[in-house]
Amino acid sequence: MIHTTQSRYFIKKLPNVVREDMQRLLTARRQRAAATQNNLARYMDDLVNRALKLAPFIEDRYPFADRRHGAKHERLHHELLMRDEALHRLAQQLANDNQALLETFPEDDTPFLTVITAVYQAMAETLRGVHLRPPLSERTLPNDLDEREALLLIACKKMLSDAWLEKQLLWLRTQYLEYAQVTLERVGDKAHQHRYVSRLSFQAWKNKQQAAKRFIERTEVLDEETGEHFPLQDVIARTTANPENRRIEMMVRARGFQELAQDLDYTCLFITWTLPSRYHRNSPKWDGLSIKDGHQTLMHQWKLARARLAKAELPYFGVRVAEPHQDGTPHAHYFLFCAEADRDRLIATLQDVATTEDRHELGDDITPRFTVIASDPARGDAVAYMAKYIGKNINGAHLPESDAEQTAQRVRAWASTHRLHQFQHFGGKPVGLWRQLRRATADQTRFDPELDTLRQAADTSKWALFCQLAERATLAYETQPNVYGEAVHKTVGFTWAPASGAEPVLVTPCARTYRLINKAALDAALKARRAVPWSTENKCNRDLHHPHENAPSPFESALMKVTGWTQKGVQCLIRPLRRGATLTLDRHRRLSLQNGHLHVQGAKYVPPD
């Protein structure tokens, strides 16, 4: 760098992330045709003066960036955070330190809750030493002692895992770099800026996309029971992981909401909801708040608004879309359907919540913070209006702008970098239930004409009809612990409560289990599978002790006795139970297989010999 009398003393005290940014800017300035030595020196002085004003924001939020107080000699500093290998070693060291802490607690008659609380607090302090957040907030722990103990134990297991710790460090790096870029005004709509997300973070997002693409291209999806296998890229192309499929599903749901509103004689409101000036980087009132801080504030405000609407018993439904301003600051668009009679009260409630914070800066004009436009059929229906926002936040398809696809990529990179949820539907039925019904077959639903009509509504993309008919359908889950002991809920199907009042029926549209395998290892896996002798036990639907081919096995008999289903009907339960899953049949009954015994609501059923 060029050192002038003004800059020489201060440059070495600036954070590395600021120095690197200054070096990039100076390199670009040198490439200008009229870049004389005097011009460069004056430019450098301007850069230093500006950096001295902005650096404290970065240092206050990420103290390890501060070179003035010996941050380089701390356990975590800028140079270490930028190197993958160094982060990997640090994660291992932290895990070892926490293991050593665990071993310092004596094994005596002290209540376990007391011990695990002390262990958690000691490990959490280790994480805070490298500017990581512990897995739990002790202020939000439940009052129930058993639940509290279980959550603390899970949190301690995470802090003993170098894999979990490394993920937290990598996320810290992402936050740190993008916050620094936003602070240094590298995000915006000016010529030297990048819209929505910085150049560094956008490139990192594209690198991840390329890495994911390479992984997908060399991976197969294998059904170990049947030996069927498919290229992973073909599977993804048919799911909502494909941006175009995601856009289409969003449009179907938007159209369905409009049709439902027409049936109910509801009006549609287009609401834009943004944040006070102190959240906006391009505002002189900005006080260092991050983009994530802004999004969390918006979500908290929406939570308060929904609570007030629920208390006032005002029905509504619709869609929320999170979008960035040019400088990355989030705002929200709401496409909200409500009764005409409730419209004014609903708007007043939302407006009050949106404008309460820093109300003084608005004066009599609240439109910079909150605007409402009523749907006008003469100017186009609600779906046409929503299509623009859905398209430009997913893949830019069917938009007239020449750079629509690039804009959509930058918006997706913005959401990914800050871990923001772009879309939220509220007031309708769960989209997971919709997807499960679309996977179901006519054979699985024809036992009840109403259920079959519901399946056809989902299968033919009739979202409005689906929402009206799905009152007696609920998602069904199996529960399995992950490596930390957390209960992970996996959707296995849905339950249907017949109108007759009979017991709810569990339907599992896809009971098969798949695994991902590298294409290079596929032949070996198939060969190993063929080497396993076939038997009726392999198929999980016969018992070798039974002489009759079609007779139920003892396990099947027990399931048939518990559920009241046919032999064919219980087949969908066998594989998940033998994998250790807990299946929810309805609100009152849960099944699990423990030590060869089938447990139902605490009552134990022992298969006959």
Taking alpha carbons only, the member of 276, 286, 282, 274 closest to residue 61 is 286
Measured CA distances, 89 to 162, 390, 516 (Å)? 9, 42, 29
Burial class (CB in 10 A: 0-12, 13-18, 19+), 231: middle
Residue environment code for 596-607, b if the CB has 16+ CB neighbours within 10 A, otherwise e: eebbbeeeeeeb
- Do 607 and 598 form a contact (C-beta atoms < 8 A)? yes
Looking at 120, 385, 484, 605, which residue is catalytic? 385
Structure tokens given for 188:
């915006």
Tell me how far apart the alpha carbons of residues 476 and 580 are, in angstroms, rounded to a whole number.
Answer: 16
Structure tokens given for 486:
């957390």
- Count other C-beta atoms under 10 Å from residue 441's C-beta: 11
Bridge partners of 426, per DSSP, are: 318
Tell me how far apart the alpha carbons of residues 411 and 247 are, in angstroms, rounded to a whole number.
Answer: 14
- Count other C-beta atoms under 10 Å from residue 392's C-beta: 19
Q: Are strands 590-594 and 505-507 parallel, antiparallel or unpaired?
A: unpaired
DSSP 459-497: HTT-HHHHHHHGGGEEEEEEEEE-TTS-EEEEEEEEEE-
- Do 32 and 263 form a contact (C-beta atoms < 8 A)? no
Tell me how far apart the alpha carbons of residues 500 and 511 are, in angstroms, rounded to a whole number.
Answer: 27
- Output DSSP code: residue 187: B
Taking alpha carbons only, the member of 55, 48, 52 closest to residue 5 is 48
Q: Is 196 a catalytic residue?
A: no
Tell me how far apart the alpha carbons of residues 32 and 34 are, in angstroms, rounded to a whole number.
Answer: 6
Each as own residue / partner, the long-range contacts of residues 6-11 (CB below 8 Å, 24 or more positions apart, any chain) are: 6/45, 6/48, 6/49, 7/44, 7/45, 7/47, 7/48, 10/48, 10/51, 10/52, 11/48
**Helix H or strand E encompassing 505:** strand 505-507
Taking alpha carbons only, the member of 54, 50, 30 closest to residue 41 is 30
| Amino acid in the structure at residue 192 | H
Give the rounded distance of the alpha carbon of 8 from its chain centre. 46
Measured CA distances, 101 to 116, 148, 151, 159, 409 (Å)? 12, 21, 19, 11, 45
Q: Is 389 a catalytic residue?
A: yes
DSSP 311-350: HTT--EEEEEEEEE-TTS-EEEEEEEEEEGGGHHHHHHHH
Looking at 62, 316, 334, 389, which residue is catalytic? 389
Q: How far apart are the first and last CA of the chain?
A: 84
HSE (side-chain half, CA atoms, 13 Å) at 39: 9
Tell me how far apart the alpha carbons of residues 146 and 113 are, in angstroms, rounded to a whole number.
Answer: 9
Query: Active-site residue numbers?
Result: 385, 389
